[in-house]
Homo-oligomer: A and B are copies of this chain.
């Protein structure tokens, strides 16, 4: 019985952070400047606060200056837009993140569109997505999580061109851009979502599976073609009385079953998760290089 190679996102992310650290010190030495990332958090969701804190820590570790703004839950769109405008104008800030979700009374589309496209390190602006979809066009930034998925394939030497790739999920931030990226690399893509029939049969045709459905253990061993490569984006809590928190996190893919059939697989946690922040740092660095004309 064979066992899939584990795609170690934690190790790759560390390697990427090391590369970024040395690029930033080269930048500091050469031009006396470093990249800056601004994060805006509205409200006091605990999970959002944790994400923001982690991003800040990750910035500091590689030498990116981080700027943080916390606004109360009942702030107006006007107030938020004022901060965005300030960061848009600030030449030391090369990336602006609005932590989602925003409070219900705010118009997310409106807010995200206010971020200058040159500082949209999340890559969520429709102009970026359009360029990602179009042949012969180049997005300024690629959304971090799907970019991390593709980077893992690259770093593990998994070829994409001509391969059948199935993406499960089509969200604006993960599934859809992941499919567009795979197609840019000449995979033949199929996209599965909540209206798809025969999910198992379609998934079983894939040489490469990227799953971002948010459904714990949905992809069973029988869904997987022998030798397929699996990138599991899902992060799903399941009850676990043995865990001190009462739950643990699992992916969309039933890991134990998949390990016996796939040729390579990302674990959850420790797979795609650490790559997302690494790609955010990478996008911020690219943005700074572009703005400062530093190669």
CA distance A192 to B183 in the complex (A): 10
CA distance A189 to B134 in the complex (A): 17
A137 contact set on B, CB distance < 8 A: 109, 126
Given contacts A188-B192, A188-B195, 20 further A-B contacts (CB under 8 A): A125-B130, A126-B130, A126-B131, A126-B134, A126-B137, A127-B127, A130-B131, A134-B172, A135-B171, A135-B172, A164-B202, A170-B183, A183-B191, A183-B193, A188-B191, A188-B193, A188-B202, A189-B190, A189-B191, A190-B190
- On whether A190 and B193 interact (CB within 8 A), knowing A130-B130, A133-B130, A137-B126, the answer reads no
CA distance A109 to B188 in the complex (A): 26
A196 at the interface (CB under 8 A from B): yes
CA distance A132 to B46 in the complex (A): 33
Least Cβ distance of A40 to chain B in Å? 21
Q: Contact string, A87-123, partner B, CB cutoff 8 A, digits 1/0?
A: 0000000000000000000000100000000000000
Q: Assess whether B186 is in contact with A193, with CB atoms less than 8 Å apart.
A: yes
CA distance A11 to B117 in the complex (A): 44
A136 contact set on B, CB distance < 8 A: 109, 172
Copies assembled: 2
Q: Is the interface of A mostly helix, strand, loop or mixed?
A: mixed
A197 at the interface (CB under 8 A from B): yes
Q: Assess whether B188 is in contact with A197, with CB atoms less than 8 Å apart.
A: yes
CA distance A170 to B182 in the complex (A): 13
The residues in A between 150 and 199 inclusive whose CB is less than 8 angstroms from any CB of B are 161-162, 164, 170-172, 176, 180, 183, 186, 188-193, 195-198
A129 at the interface (CB under 8 A from B): yes
A286 at the interface (CB under 8 A from B): no
A128 at the interface (CB under 8 A from B): yes
CA distance A228 to B130 in the complex (A): 30
Among B132, B162, B170, contact of A196 (Cβ-Cβ < 8 Å): B162
Least Cβ distance of A241 to chain B in Å? 37
Q: Assess whether B180 is in contact with A133, with CB atoms less than 8 Å apart.
A: yes
Least Cβ distance of A225 to chain B in Å? 13
A161 contact set on B, CB distance < 8 A: 195
Residue among A129, A197, A198 with most chain B CB within 10 A: A129
The closest CB in chain B to the CB of A207 belongs to B197
Q: Assess whether B188 is in contact with A196, with CB atoms less than 8 Å apart.
A: yes
A192 contact set on B, CB distance < 8 A: 188
Q: Assess whether B176 is in contact with A133, with CB atoms less than 8 Å apart.
A: yes
CA distance A184 to B125 in the complex (A): 19
5 closest pairs, A vs B, by CB?
Answer: A130-B130, A126-B130, A129-B130, A190-B190, A186-B195
Residue among A128, A131, A133, A191 with most chain B CB within 10 A: A133
